[in-house]
């Protein structure tokens, strides 16, 4: 593309140069022949220069308009996209509290416009009310994809996911997500105040200072916040003037505080302590145990020390559940989980 563009520019520049010299030579020749006066020569030359400038600007503007129209066409194509995940015409009320649990029934899933190779295949499991489960597995095993299905960011390709026996597709999407609080691996760094960063977890509590302070304490980030120049009113990030940058671990605690603020039925933490040191991890997990009391919780982590607190652990391999049980049961099984645990544990011996 660059070569084609350069060639077109060279041809255009040479054509323009030839036109200028040819016209100037013709006018000069007419003057020497006495057919036009010297004043006419100056007038024609200046008129030609101005006309050339106007033509160049017009063509340049047309080129810019054409280039912008290409971007606009993409933009309008995006605006005209039809959502794949939609609300049902007559949504059913969501049972509260959760009584029978969340059930995956032979769920299969692959991302739209990707290969037909399923990310999840034949997933069948039940998450009991008030239970804390953990999902472990190597990168690409499908752990985060499973969570996205619970949040209904996507619908299963096959099978169904039920909430107290009702398919998730029968609920209003906003109402369903209101019952879930989640921290993904790629959480957002909002370049706004600390108060707003935490308050975005539950917008109706944005002005409830005590609730925001409590969420910060639960996430273990309060000590870092009080050291900032304006406390909870300090703007985070360097996008704006007077913005303060946090460490990766402190940003992660802010994201966890955002999740803790919402009093949802289900708490989901995807790699919640990946950027935390051992002491901060122990503090967050201790608070998490308290918050998960009487609520359903899902943990995803590569750190197997983190998942030991779970009531049940599911091992995902290649999009399939290969092992299920408690920490002790899986160690006795001497399978994938036991191997992963032994691999990590040897670094602490």
Tens digits of per-residue pLDDT, 237-285? 888 888 899 888 888 889 889 988 888 889 888 876 666 676 777 776 7
Q: Counting every residue, how long is the chain?
A: 349
pLDDT tens profile 184-201: 878 888 999 999 999 999
At residue 309, the pLDDT reads 79
Q: At what angle do helices 278-291 and 248-261 cross, to 10 degrees?
A: 0
The span from the CA of 75 to the CA of 200, in Å, is 27
At residue 274, the pLDDT reads 67
**How large is the average pLDDT for residues 1-12?**
81
The span from the CA of 200 to the CA of 216, in Å, is 13
The span from the CA of 56 to the CA of 33, in Å, is 31
pLDDT tens profile 129-177: 989 999 998 888 888 899 999 999 999 999 999 999 999 999 999 999 9
The span from the CA of 251 to the CA of 221, in Å, is 9
The span from the CA of 294 to the CA of 93, in Å, is 21
Backbone angles phi, psi at 161, to 5 degrees: -120, 130
SS3 content of the chain, % helix, strand, coil (to 5): 50, 15, 35
pLDDT tens profile 70-111: 888 888 999 998 888 999 999 999 998 888 899 999 999 988
The span from the CA of 160 to the CA of 166, in Å, is 9
3-class secondary-structure state, position 160: strand
Domains annotated on the chain, with CATH? 2-79 (no CATH), 102-348 (3.40.50.300)
The span from the CA of 327 to the CA of 163, in Å, is 26
Token pair for residue 195? 């108060």
Please classify residue 178 by burial: count the beta carbons closer than 10 Å to its beta carbon, then call 0-12 exposed, 13-18 middle and 19+ buried: middle
């Amino acid at each position: 593309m660059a070569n084609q563009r350069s060639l077109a520019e060279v041809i255009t520049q040479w054509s323009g140069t030839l036109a200028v010299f040819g016209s100037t030579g013709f006018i000069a020749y007419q003057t020497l022949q006495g057919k036009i006066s010297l004043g006419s020569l100056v007038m024609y030359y200046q008129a030609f220069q101005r006309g050339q400038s106007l033509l160049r600007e017009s063509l340049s503007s047309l080129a810019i308009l054409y280039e912008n129209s290409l971007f606009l066409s993409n933009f309008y194509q995006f605006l005209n996209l039809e959502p794949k995940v939609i609300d049902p015409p007559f949504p059913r009320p969501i049972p509260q509290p959760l009584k029978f649990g969340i059930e995956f029934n032979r769920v299969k899933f692959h991302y739209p416009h990707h290969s037909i190779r399923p990310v999840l295949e034949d997933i069948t499991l039940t998450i009991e009310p008030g239970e804390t489960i953990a999902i472990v597995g190597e990168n690409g095993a499908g752990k985060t994809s499973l969570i996205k299905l619970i949040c209904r960011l996507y619908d299963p390709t096959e099978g169904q996911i039920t909430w107290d026996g009702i398919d998730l597709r029968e609920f209003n999407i906003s109402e369903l997500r209101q019952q879930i609080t989640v921290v993904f691996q790629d959480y957002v760094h909002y370049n706004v105040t600390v108060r707003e960063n935490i308050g975005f977890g539950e917008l109706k509590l944005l002005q409830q200072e005590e609730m925001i302070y409590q969420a910060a304490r639960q996430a273990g980030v309060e000590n870092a916040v009080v050291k900032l120049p304006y406390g909870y009113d300090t703007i985070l990030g360097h996008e704006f003037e007077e913005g303060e940058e946090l460490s990766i671990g402190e940003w992660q605690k802010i994201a966890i505080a955002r999740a803790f603020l919402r009093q949802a039925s289900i708490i989901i933490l995807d790699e919640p302590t990946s950027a935390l040191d051992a002491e901060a991890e122990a503090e967050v997990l201790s608070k998490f145990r308290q918050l998960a009391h009487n609520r359903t919780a899902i943990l995803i982590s590569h750190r197997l020390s983190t998942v030991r607190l779970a009531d049940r652990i599911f091992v995902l391999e290649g999009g399939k559940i290969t092992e299920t049980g408690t920490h002790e049961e899986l160690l006795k099984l001497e399978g994938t989980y036991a191997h992963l645990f032994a691999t990590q544990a040897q670094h602490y011996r």
